[in-house]
Amino acid sequence: MTVLKLCGTTSAEDARLGRGADFCGILVGVEWSERSLSLEEAAAVARASGVRNVILLCNPSAAFAAEVARALRPYALQLLSHETPELVAELKQSLPCEIWKTVHLPAVDGQATPKAYVDAGADALLVDSVDASEGFLRLGGTGKVGDWAAVTALMEEIDIPIFLAGGINPENVADAVRSVRPHGIDLCSGVEIERGRRDSEKVQRLLRRFREATAELSGLSKP
């Protein structure tokens, strides 16, 4: 079954809206993102989520990543920028949570290849889109649909879970599930009324269509 991660969660109220998902994504210390929280704010959101929490970090030091893991006890830390395979390997060996890595298609300068992160021990990859229209490189939360065919091809080469991200919303989530069949769907802006604030109606519509699509695929896979 495909799983669902709602990311960029900024409040306890929005965390509770996302309880129909499998994972709650929370950004910590990501300076360029309006959705980023302090450790204290993230702790309050994590307590309210009721699902497995994934904490997103941007180019953290190993020490900061360890501090976040100790404070928030997440299911996974997700590295979303130019982190090296060496950092992935270090965190995988030293921390008790899973280590996920965001990659981008087309590739972002300075990122290693998806295979390099897999070889370093990443537990999952999240394939996202990028946007430079605001004068800087926004890695995720762009609302821009990525190259689904490229993600499908990557899934044939990589043997760890892959999440599809980038521009997924209530209108296209069923198509994403049916056509790509990733391990997981990851989205943020597709259920927001504005950056950092969720729209309850969009969340409910997305959850309904996601469940319908996954139930359909589950039925097709039965003997």
Q: What is the CATH number of domain 3-221?
A: 3.20.20.70
- Report pLDDT for 108: 79
Query: For the chain, where are the alpha helices, taking DSSP H only?
Result: 12-17, 39-49, 62-72, 85-94, 114-119, 148-157, 173-180, 200-221
Cβ neighbours of residue 184 under 8 Å, at least 6 residues apart? 2, 3, 4, 5, 22, 23, 124, 126, 161, 162, 163, 164
- Report pLDDT for 89: 98
- Per-residue pLDDT tens, the chain, 223 aa: give them: 899 999 999 999 999 999 999 999 999 999 889 999 999 999 999 999 999 999 999 999 999 999 999 999 999 999 999 999 999 999 999 999 999 999 988 777 889 999 999 999 999 999 987 665 555 555 655 566 778 999 999 999 999 999 999 999 999 999 999 999 999 999 999 999 999 999 999 999 999 999 999 999 887 765 4
